[in-house]
């Protein structure tokens, strides 16, 4: 199978890429290298596209799935540069449009921060009340994906990642 991994040069992304390669898959990484590094991908047989996640339309090879990890990954980043809110959502919509047009499934890296303020144990059906831009962006991405699924049948799984080390 052939997968695109946005943010594939980052910590989580590069580990995912390595696993996908070991399982015999072909991988295309899209990364702008703002926080990722090509060093994380050394010795891996991949195709690399330097660019933002929203530039997925540069991929002309047929693909079987998209792992979207190319999203600014910390609350302080959004607080300092609020334009990242717009960029993250814009890139996400471009990925959804590409996936919808080509009937490709997506795995979205969301965040466990969505549950902040709720008592443990956490459950998916808990009320979500974002308290920062980082969490709101990830939660908005999940909600937008739900609408794409309802209207167009776009298949998205959102993983609310916890402690990834």
For this structure, is 134 an active site residue?
Answer: yes
Copy the structure tokens of residue 121: 């144990």
Candidate list 134, 139, 152, 165, residue with the active-site label: 134
Beta bridge pairs of residue 66: 4, 106
Which residues are catalytically annotated? 134
């Amino acid at each position: 199978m052939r997968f695109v991994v946005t943010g594939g040069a980052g910590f989580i992304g590069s580990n995912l890429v390595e696993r996908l390669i070991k399982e015999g898959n072909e991988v295309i990484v899209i990364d702008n290298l703002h926080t990722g590094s090509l060093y994380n991908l050394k010795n891996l047989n991949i195709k690399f596209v330097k660019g933002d996640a929203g530039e997925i339309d540069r991929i002309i090879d047929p693909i079987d799935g998209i792992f979207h990890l190319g999203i600014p990954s910390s609350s302080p980043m959004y607080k300092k540069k609020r334009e990242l809110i717009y960029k993250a959502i814009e890139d996400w919509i471009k990925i959804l449009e590409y996936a919808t047009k080509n009937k490709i499934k997506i795995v979205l890296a969301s965040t466990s921060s969505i549950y902040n303020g709720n008592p443990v144990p956490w459950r998916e059906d808990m009320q979500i009340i974002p308290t920062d831009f980082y969490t709101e962006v990830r939660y908005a991405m999940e909600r937008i994906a739900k609408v794409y699924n309802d209207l167009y049948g776009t298949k998205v799984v959102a993983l609310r990642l916890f402690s990834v080390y």
